[in-house]
Structure 1
Amino acid sequence: MGGVRVVVVDDHPLFREGLRAALESTPDVRVVAEAETTAAALEVVAAQRPDVVVMDLSLPDASGIEATKQLAQLHPGLPVLVLTTSDDDGSLLGALQAGARGYLVKGAGRDEVLHAVRTAAHGGAVFSGDVAARISALLTGGARRGAEQAFPTLTSREVEVLDLVARGLDNRRIARELFLAEKTVRNHISHIFDKLNVASRTEAAARARDAGLGEPQRPAGPGAAG
């Protein structure tokens, strides 16, 4: 029997039952096993060799993040799709760092979950729209924190201005982006030049990009990346 073979890991029997019914409502997806603990998940994955694991993060013996990490080590390339009620940034980043190929919050519709399972099985990564937007924000925030460490003499506002300079925006655009007067932007840039000991926007932008700034923000939406 062909199709995408799925293992569901969740400690709530009623949720597993509903998820199985949703996944198996289409002929190209089949749930080959269920598990309610990390230990059981490792066992059934080893026995069944599924195409995708759908993983909750709240498990009784160890977190789904730890389970994802162990699965990544034992079965490199096996896609793990997180489906959880945990929508905080710490859980999201932890799951991604553990190797999760996708992250959906419970409440996602049947079609969204099926799309995510199929996409993960074919090597793609899938995040619901709000999660994708938060990943973008977290990555941008991380770059700015790194730049603040690289340029300790700059204020947070000056780092924001420098980021936009590195993206190629002129003073008028920067003023619009940050809701500042152009004169204020010019003052910030003058201070940035002095503090970084540079003489031009090109030089300042190069220094900024070396520190991880200047990446364009792409609008994030539902769907696959891969």
Structure 2
Amino acid sequence: MNVQKILVVDDHPLVLRGIRQVLESAEDFRVVGESTSGSEALELMGKVRPDIIVLDLRLPDLLGPDVCREMLARTPSLKVVILTAFDDPKILWACVEAGAAGILLKGSLELDLVRALRDVSAGCMVMDKTVSQVLHNANLLVKNDHGNVYGGLRSREYDVLRLLAQGMSTREIGTALGLRTNTVRSYTQSLMEKLQAHNRVQLVVVANRLHLI
């Protein structure tokens, strides 16, 4: 069994303890560190080398999106899942732009966290339905011109985009569509370029906002 190493970052001791208890109930996760601030987490990640970081959106010293961006700059293969009790669309969008592999609401943690982290470790993106709805309702302005997007997507790209939105991993999409893994990756990269998205989570959010899926 491939055990995923988890670093948990939250400034509330009770939350830290609760997350540890939830994750320690799963055999495929091991909490290798805990931190109560962004700066401490950035220092600790180099020592414990986590596979996934569970990161609170609001920390005493830094905002989650800023910490996430710096973490991924240091370790691009890292998966960062941001936890939040807030529904400010601009801050949630900042998390997407920072490269978060997922955004979860704290109120739904007990049942969803283990499943969400398993999905993330398999290469999927995870986003709480409430978060997705907030971003959709906010209709955030797209920074770049997507005027020619609709005619620029090929049929197979639409298929891949639809399955990405369902949370499927690259391998699962390949199996479903009868495509090689590298081909799925190529389609995904092409989609991100055409929709001017920086990661898979942002890709699905932009596609939803443009009513492509």
TM-score normalised to the size of structure 1? Answer: 0.61
Which letter maps to 1:19?
Answer: I
Question: Counterpart of 2:57 in 1: which secondary structure?
Answer: coil
Per-residue CA shift, 1:14-41, capped at 9, x if unaligned? 1100111011111111111001111110
Name the stretch that deviates more: 112-121 or 13-22: 112-121
1:53 is paired with a residue of what secondary structure? strand
Looking at structure 1, the residues matched to 7 and 123 of structure 2 have their Cα atoms a distance apart, in angstroms, of 17
Equivalent residue for 1:216? 211
Q: Which residue of 2 aligns with 1:36?
A: 36
Give distance in 2, aligned partners of 1:26 and 1:88. 32
- Give the alignment's Cα RMSD to 1 decimal: 2.7
SS at match of 1:123: coil
Structure 2 residue aligned with 1:142: 141
AA of the residue aligned to 1:110: E
Deviation at 1:111, TM superposition (A): 2.6
Q: Which residue of structure 2 lines up, in the alignment, with residue 117 of structure 1?
A: 117
CA contact (8 A) 1:136 1:217 kept: no
Percentage of pairs with the same residue = 33
Q: How many residues align?
A: 154
SS at the partner of 2:59? coil
SS at match of 2:71: helix
SS at structure 2 position matched to 1:107: helix
The residue that corresponds to 2:179 in the other structure is: none
Partner of 1:83: 83
Instruction: Name the counterpart of 1:156.
Output: none
Distance 1:84 1:46 in 2: 24
Q: Which amino acid aligns with 2:95?
A: A
Counterpart mapping for 1:156-167 below 5 A: none
**Residues 38-187 of structure 1 mapped to structure 2, 5 A cutoff:** 38-138=38-138, 141-142=140-141
Q: Structure 2: how far apart are the matches of 1:75 and 1:124?
A: 18
Residue 194 of structure 1 corresponds to none
Please tell me the residue identity of whatever aligns with 1:14.
Answer: L
1:91 Cα deviation from its structure 2 partner:
1.3
Provide the rounded CA distance (Å) in 2 between the counterparts of 1:88 and 1:81.
17
Q: Which amino acid letter does the alignment assign opposite residue 130 of structure 1?
A: T
Q: Distance in 2 between matches of 1:89 and 1:113?
A: 22
**Residue type of the partner of 2:36?**
E
Instruction: Specify the alignment match of 1:200 in structure 2.
Output: none
Q: TM-score, normalised by structure 2?
A: 0.65
Higher-Rg structure is 1
Q: Deviations over 1:167-217 (max 9, x none)?
A: xxxxxxxxxxxxxxxxxxxxxxxxxxxxxxxxxxxxxxxxxxxxx999435
